[in-house]
Amino acid sequence: MATKRRTEPLTPRTSAARVTVKDVAKLAGVSLGTVSNALNRPTLVAPDTLAKVQAAVDQLGFVRNSAAHQLRGGRSNSFGAIVVDASNPHVAAAIRGLEDAIHTRGASLVVCSSDGSADRERRYLQMLEEQRVQGIVITPVDRGVRRLEALRERGTAVVLLDHASAAGDFCSASVDHALGSELSARHLFDRGHRRIAFVNGPLNLRQCSARRRGARRAAATAGLNPDDAIVELNLTSISALGEVPALIEKVCAAPRGERASAVLCLDDAVALVVLRVLAEHRLRVPRDISVIGYDDVAYAALLAPALTSVRQPTYELGQAAGQLLVAEIHDGYHVHQHLNFQPELILRESDSARARLNRYDPRGG
Amino acid sequence: MATKRRTEPLTPRTSAARVTVKDVAKLAGVSLGTVSNALNRPTLVAPDTLAKVQAAVDQLGFVRNSAAHQLRGGRSNSFGAIVVDASNPHVAAAIRGLEDAIHTRGASLVVCSSDGSADRERRYLQMLEEQRVQGIVITPVDRGVRRLEALRERGTAVVLLDHASAAGDFCSASVDHALGSELSARHLFDRGHRRIAFVNGPLNLRQCSARRRGARRAAATAGLNPDDAIVELNLTSISALGEVPALIEKVCAAPRGERASAVLCLDDAVALVVLRVLAEHRLRVPRDISVIGYDDVAYAALLAPALTSVRQPTYELGQAAGQLLVAEIHDGYHVHQHLNFQPELILRESDSARARLNRYDPRGG
DNA sequence: AAATGTCATTGACACGATTCAATGACCTCG
DNA sequence: CGAGGTCATTGAATCGTGTCAATGACATTT
């Protein structure tokens, strides 16, 4: 799989002795305290002394040891993020937002993927606390937050990321999952749809039950009976794409008067499969049936028809989490906030301007 | 955009005084040294003493201060990664691999996005060196690696990530971009294609020129004249998707005998647009014309027709970079290695089993 | 010129964990 | 009984930086 190519025959480890303030002081001909002042409170030191110190620093390549700094000062300058999987695109965007938020404070971010393992989460929490990070943004593996409460008790700020545990006494930043599906369902009902199919995930997942709640709310708001207006089709797992065709076939096979005129999808990947199955059935989108995705991945806009989808402000989510953390650390006292970000419906071509109620044309014309 | 909801009226900052080994020692009725031994070399200490120390640790919630540990021991237990943008899916996957590689050593990873800014890169390098990270994996912003050489001279290991500077005297891990397009082009030539279009990015980008090189190499291997066999269509920017339709129209408009029978794409997003434009021209894929993407994004397999694409082993890339780093740190002396990862052609439906040479049927039948 | 004040610099101490030579307790063997 | 050995424990020294009270040099005021 990988090609190794050898280049240099051998490189001795030039373990150059680390240079300390003491070395700098000696070279500059001043005392340790003066070097420290020059570095941290330059106004206190005479201009020419400053120059000498600066020269010595440059010449020796001195780099301050932040461990010693931290030991003296009592406080590190880094933060931690514990997420389920940092390679998930959503999560990666949130982490990026978080990184930017704390980078403006000159701090750095330790990224940890728990992989859903409570054990891995615990190990990472331990490591971060040992490092005396100022704060941790975490999507906890399980509901128990006792450990996090103890952590904060001991002085580490904690903010929950996309975890609806309003129970826990923490700041939190999340996306309003219920609102996401409410927006798209409402949009469809407003346009005249009276019966929509909803390909959702298993309802024991928080997001999925929230999504269901939102859709039903939209139906109720439109004066419809949710049980009639929404055909619920639940996958047994969030990634069980293979089950989608069968579910959609069921939709297509429904009697004329009852066939759903739109399909709400768990995510854009599901929407893609839905589009394919509908095409196989010679149903035109959006003319015969509307389709709305979720996530607004990069390719949604490139499809034919371009996919209407729900965008989640994940970068902003992470950024806000970082700001909450900074606020919690800065404020002497503190009011816990729950920031609930609103997803946004991105209208494109895959939903019809007006539902052609339950007309079914097998020739696709 | 965000909804604030206030919950707790006010939370006093319970700044519990940090507990140190001294406190533990006092409570356990032993000396500092014994506590330290109990924690780090438990075999040296008597079982019942061990139990007493353990009890004191638990009762007080002692967590070791890694700054002090590091200060004494001289070495931190963390690594740094400086990439252009950690939210890019490729990069996120590589970072995840890196994280896993060093997590097995009980170390943690500081993630830094340079955003292509030399200034940001410099600030992050400074921070990481102050933290005395054991090593840094970096995709440098520019070609200059002087700063990195100085860094290593001062004792920090450095590995280059997906940066073809074989010039620099560093370990590196990269993906063989030339091979990626060579594989897909060779596949097409093997199947009988004699003239293919290649939608590439601007050639001043390393990856793009490498890709061109690979495609031409494949043509030459097949005994063809690269200038005839490959119709080069270059975007002015790597993200200029808007230019794609015009380029493809040019392909379609070519005289019968000269029309390319396949399109190689810069990435899967481009491939998606290509598929759409071809459909508008009533060209069937793969029957009339083949299409091959690049990146193998999640949705490639879901398209109709499922997209043949080139997968890059990005997770493994990051993982390998981490292992190189660890090796460089561990080995007393060290041979620099350049690991060049091979992309993989994932065959699906969008390329024809055999090219139907230049047949053009405007009715799509 | 003495008194007061300003400014720059100094150096001992603190931070918290680890290490190691030294000490003490206890056992064993001759 | 004493010499020698094993085992557990001790506490002072150390890592590199920041802090602060103290010192000294020099200028200003009366």
Model pLDDT, residue B333:
73
pLDDT of residue B47: 93
What are the distances in angstroms from CA B156 to CA B130, B168, B305? 11, 16, 49
**Which positions in chain B touch A65 (Cβ < 8 Å)?**
71, 130, 132
Q: What is the pLDDT of residues A248-276, one digit of tens each?
A: 999 999 987 889 999 999 999 999 999 99
Alpha-carbon gap, residue A141 to B22, rounded angstroms: 34
The residue that leads in pLDDT, A13 or B215, is B215
Q: What is the largest CA-CA distance in chain A?
A: 93
Predicted confidence at residue A335, as pLDDT, reads 85
Q: Quick check: B6 and A337 CB within 8 A?
A: yes
How large is the angle between the packed helices A206-221 and A177-190, nearest 10 degrees? 30
Q: Tell me how far apart the alpha carbons of residues B162 and B314 are, in angstroms, rounded to a whole number.
A: 10
Q: Which CATH number fits domain A21-64: 1.10.3470, 1.10.390, 2.60.40, 1.10.260?
A: 1.10.260
Query: What is the fold, at CATH topology level, of the domain defined by B74-175+314-342?
Result: Rossmann fold (3.40.50)
Answer whether residue B341 shows pLDDT above 80.
yes
Which band of pLDDT confidence, cut at 50, 70 and 90, is reported for residue A355? low
Q: Does A47 touch chain B (CB under 8 A)?
A: no
* Structure confidence by residue, pLDDT tens digits, B136-171: 999 999 887 899 999 999 999 999 999 866 566 899
Check CB contact under 8 Å for A273 and B8: no
Q: What is the mean pLDDT of residues A42-63?
A: 95
**pLDDT value at B209 more than 60:** yes
**CB of A176 less than 8 A from some CB of B:** yes
CA→C1' distance for A31 and D23 (Å): 14
Average pLDDT, rounded, for chain A: 90
- Three-state SS string over chain A comes to CEECCECCCCEECCCCCCCCHHHHHHHHCCCHHHHHHHHHCHHHCCHHHHHHHHHHHHHHCCCCCHHHHHHHHCCCCEEEEEECCCCCHHHHHHHHHHHHHHHCCCCEEEEEECCCCHHHHHHHHHHHHHCCCCEEEECCCCCCCHHHHHHHHCCCEEEEECCCCCCCCCEEEEECHHHHHHHHHHHHHHCCCCCEEEEECCCCCHHHHHHHHHHHHHHHHCCCCHHHHEEEEECCCCCCHHHHHHHHHHHHHCCHHHCCCEEEECCHHHHHHHHHHHHHCCCCCCCCCEEECCECCHHHHHCCCCCEEEECCHHHHHHHHHHHHHHHHHCCEECCEEEEECCEEECCCCCCCCCCCCCCCCCCC
Give the number of other Cβ atoms within 10 Å of residue A272's Cβ: 26
**What is the pLDDT, as a whole number, of residue B80?**
98
pLDDT attached to residue B361: 42
Distance CA A7, CA A245 (A): 53
For residue A61, say whether its CB is under 7 Å from any atom of strand C. Answer: no
Strand C: which nucleotides have any atom within 7 A of a protein Cβ? 7-21
Q: Which of A13-27, A334-348, B208-222 has the highest mean pLDDT?
A: B208-222
Q: Look at A1 and B316 and tell me if their CB atoms are within 8 Å.
A: yes
Chain A to chain B Cβ contacts (< 8 Å): 257
**Contact A265/A307 with Cβ under 8 angstroms?**
no
Give per-residue pLDDT as tens, B61-106.
999 999 999 999 878 999 999 999 999 999 999 999 999 999 999 9
Average pLDDT over residues A358-363: 42
Mark yes or no for CB contact A338/B4 under 8 Å: yes
B92, B169, B297 ranked by CB distance to A92: nearest: B92
Full-model pTM: 0.90
Averaged pLDDT, B320-330: 94
Residue-level pLDDT at B290: 97
Q: What is the mean pLDDT of residues A211-231?
A: 97
Contact at 8 Å (CB) between B338 and B298?
no
Among all chains, which residue has been given the structure tokens 């007006």? A354
User: In the predicted model, what is the mean pLDDT of residues A332-343?
Assistant: 88
Range from A11-20, A79-88, A239-248, A253-262 carrying the lowest mean pLDDT: A11-20
Structure letter (DSSP) for residue B257: G
Does any CB of chain B come closer than 8 Å to the CB of residue A191? Answer: no
Residue spans per domain, chain B: 21-64, 74-175+314-342, 177-311+346-359
pLDDT of residue B182: 98
In whole angstroms, what is the distance from residue B178 CA to residue B191 CA?
20
Q: What is the pLDDT of residue B8?
A: 38
Q: How far apart are CA A167 and CA A336, in angstroms?
A: 12
Q: What percent of chain A has pLDDT over 70?
A: 90
Most confident of the ranges A111-125, A155-169, B344-358: A111-125
pLDDT above 70 (res A28): yes
When computed from its CA atoms, the radius of gyration of chain B, rounded to whole angstroms, is 28
What is the model's pLDDT at position A142?
87
On whether any CB of chain A is under 8 Å from the CB of B347, the answer is: no
Q: What is the pLDDT of residue B363?
A: 38
- Nearest residue to nucleotide D20, by CA–C1' distance, is A33
Q: Which residue has the higher pLDDT, B309 or A337?
A: B309
CB B235 within 8 A of CB B201: yes
- Disruptive mutation site among A19, A58, A96, A238 for chain B (greatest number of B CBs within 10 Å): A96
Bridge partners for B309 per DSSP: B346
B161 by DSSP, 3-state: which?
strand
Chain A residues touching B66 at Cβ < 8 A: 67, 130-132
Does A87 contact B95 at a Cβ distance shorter than 8 Å?
Answer: yes
CA distances, B36 to each of B22, B55, B103, B239 (Å): 10, 14, 24, 56
Q: For residue A298, which residues of chain B lie inside 8 Å, CB to CB?
A: 269
Q: Would you say residue B192 has pLDDT above 50?
A: yes
| Residue A230 φ/ψ, nearest 5 degrees | -120, 120
pLDDT at A58: 96
φ and ψ at B184, to 5 degrees? -70, -40
Beta carbons of A67 and B132 less than 8 Å apart:
yes
Do B172 and B160 touch, CB atoms closer than 8 A? Answer: yes
Give the containing element (helix H, strand E) for B80. Answer: strand B78-83
User: Is A68 an interface residue toward B (CB < 8 Å)?
Assistant: yes
What does the pLDDT read at residue A354?
A: 60
Mean pLDDT of A47-66: 95
Test A155 with B16 for CB contact under 8 angstroms: yes
pLDDT at B15 over 80: no
Span A338-343, mean pLDDT? 95
Distance CA B191, CA B291 (A): 13
Residue A330 has pLDDT above 90, yes or no: no
* CB of B46 within 7 Å of some strand D atom: yes
Say whether A5 and B155 touch across the interface (CB within 8 A): no
Quote the crossing angle between the two packed helices A32-40 and A47-60, to the nearest 10°: 100
Which pLDDT does position A359 carry in this prediction?
A: 44
Interface of B with A in 119-138 (CB under 8 A): 120, 123-124, 126-132
Q: Who among A76, A78, A154 is closest to B16 (CB)?
A: A154
Q: Using CA atoms, how far apart are residues B235 and B266, in angstroms rounded to an integer?
A: 9
User: Alpha-carbon distance A152 to B61, whole Å?
Assistant: 12
pLDDT at residue B56 above 90?
A: yes
Predicted local confidence at residue B227, as pLDDT: 97
For residue B359, what are its two tokens?
Answer: 């047949």
Is A72's CB less than 7 Å from nucleic acid strand D? yes
The pLDDT assigned to A361 comes to: 43
Query: Of the candidates A165, A237, A161, A173, which has an alpha carbon nearest to the alpha carbon of residue A199?
Result: A237
Per-residue pLDDT of A307-326, as tens digits, reads 999 999 999 999 999 999 99
Question: Which amino acid is residue A302, in one-letter code?
Answer: L
pLDDT value for A76:
93
Alpha carbon A340 to its chain's center: 13
- Domain range A177-311+346-359, its CATH number among 1.10.10.10, 3.40.1080.10, 3.40.50.2300, 3.90.1300.10: 3.40.50.2300
pLDDT at A365 over 70: no
Nucleic strand C near CB of residue B37 (< 7 Å): yes
The two three-digit tokens of residue A248, written as one number: 């959609």
pLDDT score of A9? 35
Interface test with B, best of A19, A21, A60, A111 (most B CBs within 10 A): A111
Answer yes or no: is pLDDT of A339 > 80.
yes
Q: pLDDT category, A11, cuts 50, 70, 90?
A: very low
What integer is the mean pLDDT of A49-61?
95
The pair of structure tokens assigned to A59 is 């010449």
End-to-end distance of chain B based on CA atoms, in angstroms?
50
Q: What type of residue sits at position A309?
A: S
* Neighbour-count burial of A48, counting CB atoms closer than 10 A to its CB (0-12 exposed, 13-18 middle, 19+ buried): exposed
B75 beta carbon to strand C: under 7 Å: no
Q: What is the mean pLDDT of chain B?
A: 90
Q: Which residue has the tokens 């009339």?
A: B288
Q: What is the pLDDT of residue A360?
A: 41
The reply to whether domains B74-175+314-342 and B177-311+346-359 share a CATH topology is: yes
Residue A77 pLDDT exceeds 80? yes
Q: Check pLDDT > 80 for residue A194.
A: yes
For residue B229, the model assigns a pLDDT of 97
Contact, A33 CB vs strand D, < 7 Å: yes
> How confident is the model at residue B334, as a pLDDT?
78
**Contact between the CB of B33 and strand D at under 7 Å:** yes
The reply to whether the CB atom of residue B103 sits less than 7 A from any atom in nucleic acid chain C is no
The predicted pLDDT at position B74 comes to 73
